[in-house]
Structure 1
Amino acid sequence: MGLIASLFSVLFGGERNLVRDTVEVFRPNAEADAERDATRYAASLAQFAAEFAQPRRGLFDRVIDALNRLPRPFLALGTLGLFVSAMIEPIWFSQRMQGIALVPEPLWWLMGAIVSFYFGARHQTKSQEFQSGLAATLARAPQVAANIKELSTLLEVPDEWEEPNRALSDWRAQNGR
């Protein structure tokens, strides 16, 4: 008995497991590997969410955002207005278009550059806001999964709680089912 006890003490004593330690040299511990992956994933999501976090916006920022939303509807409605004015007052419309024909080409290039930069910057801002919202949603995903798992365990009814329907089982017995 003493030999076997001392052998087990050498292999598993001192809060260590020589077999496990030897195997982990050749194959990583799956549980510890999963914990490291989860920690790494949570840290990267937290970093991503912090990168795109925006402070609370004041009145000035909201007013400027409202003003920034106006050019696109004005351009679209203005273009439709040009079509309507061409149909209602063709002479008036033709006179205005002759005036536009006199605008020098460099000025058209400048206007194109301004409009392109405006819409490009607006697109980039909206894209970054979308990514920050996505990062915040992904950061909440592990907590949501844990909540769903907890709720599903609450919905499971243990077998000892289920009582058989005696009337139904009697009916099945009488009808051969």
Structure 2
Amino acid sequence: MVMNLLKLIFGGGRNVVAETAEVFMENTEAGAQRRADYAQSALGQFGAEFQVERKGRFDRFMDGLNRLPRPLIVIAIFSLFASAMYDPLWFAERMQGLVLVPDPLWWLAGTIVAFYFGGRFQMKSQEFSQAITQSTARLPQVLESISQIRALRHDSPGAAETGTDAGLSEAAIEPSDNEAVRAWREGGK
């Protein structure tokens, strides 16, 4: 009879007690395996994103050229500032030469620079607008938090108000038997 009872509970190659317990509590071994599988797949996906395909010389050369304009423009502008401080006459001569550049050429140069930098600027300005919108949406919560914090200041009216709690009201007016407070009071006399 005991064997039949044990076979009923643990029979058929199953552990009914363990299966029932897993309904209420996670199997730690299976949970650890799931977390490890998840971490492994996340690392695999992350690694796949950064796999570099073998490129030829021409592709690498063009990638390098595509990365040059922004740093070169920044270096050129700061070099102009430095040259203006180092040799103002040389700088003034060069700037007078720029006066001779016709307006349509300036427009063309402005268009090229605008298209080159404009796409990135557009993307960043949209991200900035979204951040401002999200911050503005949180404004009522922030103002409420600030008012709650200000209400906690010691000089706020009603900051020590005990409300309807009679026990707290009595405790607030009873003299303290704190030795440090008593010593302070006696020392002040």
Q: Secondary structure at the match of 1:46?
A: helix
Unpaired runs of at least 5, structure 2: 122-189
1:31 alignment counterpart? 29
2:132 alignment counterpart? none
2:13 is aligned, of 12, 15, 23, to 15
Q: Which amino acid in structure 2 is aligned with residue 41 of structure 1?
A: A
Q: Which amino acid in structure 2 is aligned with residue 56 of structure 1?
A: R
**Alpha-carbon spacing, 1:24–1:41, altered in 2? closer, same or farther (3 Å):** same
Cα distance in 1, alignment partners of residues 92 and 22 from structure 2: 88
The percent identity for this pair of structures is 36
Normalising to structure 1: TM-score of the pair? 0.52
1:5 alignment counterpart? 3
Q: Secondary structure at the match of 2:100?
A: helix
Aligned length: 118
1:95 alignment counterpart? 96
Cα distance in 2, alignment partners of residues 23 and 114 from structure 1: 64
Unpaired runs of at least 5, structure 1: 122-177
Higher relative contact order (CA 8 A, sep 6+): 1
- Deviation digits for residues 10-61 of structure 1 (CA, Å, limit 9, x no counterpart): 2123321111112222323222122122212322332333244331122112
Cα distance in 2, alignment partners of residues 55 and 80 from structure 1: 36
- Deviation digits for residues 42-92 of structure 1 (CA, Å, limit 9, x no counterpart): 223323332443311221122112323432343233224433166242541
Cα distance in 1, alignment partners of residues 79 and 70 from structure 2: 14
**Alpha-carbon spacing, 1:48–1:17, altered in 2? closer, same or farther (3 Å):** same
Higher helix proportion, which one? 1
Cα distance in 2, alignment partners of residues 43 and 94 from structure 1: 59
Larger radius of gyration: 2
**Alpha-carbon spacing, 1:117–1:57, altered in 2? closer, same or farther (3 Å):** farther
